A = this chain, B = another copy of it.
C-alpha cells in the first residue's frame, strides 16, 4: 500500500509538504507542488480516507433515515439527497428503518460513534432522544418531509394542510359535496395536517363532515384498494375520494372500476405526490405535485450548514406544491347521483 510517506520520499520532501500540497496547494511553491504531484502520480498514491477522517475528526458521511425506499416518493427524495451530497463531497449512508424507532436510534448512534457527521430524518421522530450528545452544539440533524411539531433542528416540508385544502376546494368547485378520504397512518403529522385541510375546505363550504367517509390507509396501493371497497359499497357512497397518496389512489382506481363504476363520471379521485405513474394511470390522476428531489437537496444544504458551523439562512423551510389537474376529476353529474 502506498502511503503519504512513500510519496514524500519519492518527491524528496517531508510528509507534511505532501499533505499540504494535496489539501492547500497554494501554500507550497509551484516547484514543490509539481514535484509532489509527479510523485503522487508515479506512486499511484490514493490517500487512506479513513486515516484522514480519523485525524481530522470529520467523516463527511451523512446518515439518511428512510421508512422505506421502495416507495416512489422517497426514492425521489433520496435521489435529491444523493445528488446534493455528492456535489459537496459528502457521502450518503442509506438506512431503511421501516419506521421502527429502535432501529432509527441504532442508526443515529453512527453519529455519536463518529461514523457519520449528521442525519437526515424523513420521519417525525427524534432518534437522538436518549443519546449522549455534546450539549451546547446544535443537533446534527435535519428533519424533512414528515416533520416533528417542535423539531429541535432545521426542517423542510410542504404546507400539507393548505395543499389538501386546495385539492378539496377543487372538488367542491366541481360540485362535489360528499367527499370521502383515504387517510395515511393514524399518528402521522402528515395525516393530521391533510385531514385538517380537508376539514377546512368542507367547513368553509358549509358542508357537514361525515366521519364514516374517512377511512385509514397506509400509503400502499393495496390499502387504497381495500378502503375504496368500503367506500364504494357503503351506505352513503361519496361522489369523490381524496387519497392521501397517489399509490393509494391507484389502488382505489382499480377497485372503483371493478365495482363497475367509472372514474371520473361516477366518482372523482384525487391523489397526492404526483409520482411518475400518476400521469399514466387510467384515468391520469389529479393530484398535488411535491418537489421531492428539492426536499432532499434542501435538507442536505441545511444539514451541511449546521455541520460546518454556519447558521442556515432559514431553519424551517416550506416548499411549494402545485395542484395538477388531470382527468380523474370532473363536475358532478346530477343525472347519475
Interface, chain A (partner B; CB < 8 A): 1-2, 44, 46-51, 53-54, 59, 61, 64, 68-72, 75-76, 78-79, 82-83, 86, 91-96, 109-110, 112-115, 132, 134, 220-221, 225, 247, 250-251, 253-254, 257, 276-277, 280-282, 284
Contacts and interface: CB of A to CB of B under 8 A. Distances in A.
A94 to B, nearest CB: 4
A51 B54 contact: yes
A91 B109 CA distance: 13
Nearest to A132: B44
Contacts of A59: 50
B46 A112 contact: yes
Given A79-B96, A96-B82, A251-B280, A54 B46 contact: no
Contact of A113 (B49, B225, B284): B49
Contact of A114 (B49, B64, B280, B284): B49
Given A46-B113, A53-B54, 5 more contacts: A1-B134, A46-B132, A70-B276, A91-B110, A92-B93
A49 B59 CA distance: 11
Q: Which 9 A-B pairs rank lowest in CB-CB distance, beginning with the nearest?
A: A44-B132, A49-B115, A94-B94, A54-B54, A282-B282, A49-B113, A82-B96, A46-B112, A70-B75
**Can you tell how many copies of this chain the complex includes?**
2
B83 A96 contact: yes
B82 A113 contact: no
B50 A78 contact: no
Contacts of A257: 282
Contacts of A1: 134
Given A110-B49, A221-B277, A79 B72 contact: no
A2 B134 CA distance: 11
A39 to B, nearest CB: 14
A251 B278 CA distance: 11
B113 A47 contact: yes
Contacts of A70: 72, 75-76, 79, 276
B79 A114 contact: no
A182 B191 CA distance: 40
A93 B94 CA distance: 6
B69 A250 contact: no
Contacts of A110: 49, 91
Contacts of A284: 254
Contact of A115 (B50, B68, B76): B50
B69 A79 contact: yes
Given A46-B113, A49-B115, A70-B75, A280 B82 contact: no
23 contacts: A44-B132, A49-B113, A49-B114, A50-B54, A50-B114, A53-B115, A64-B94, A69-B69, A69-B75, A70-B75, A70-B76, A70-B276, A86-B95, A86-B96, A91-B110, A92-B93, A92-B94, A93-B93, A221-B277, A250-B280, A257-B282, A277-B277, A282-B282
B94 A78 contact: yes
B54 A82 contact: no
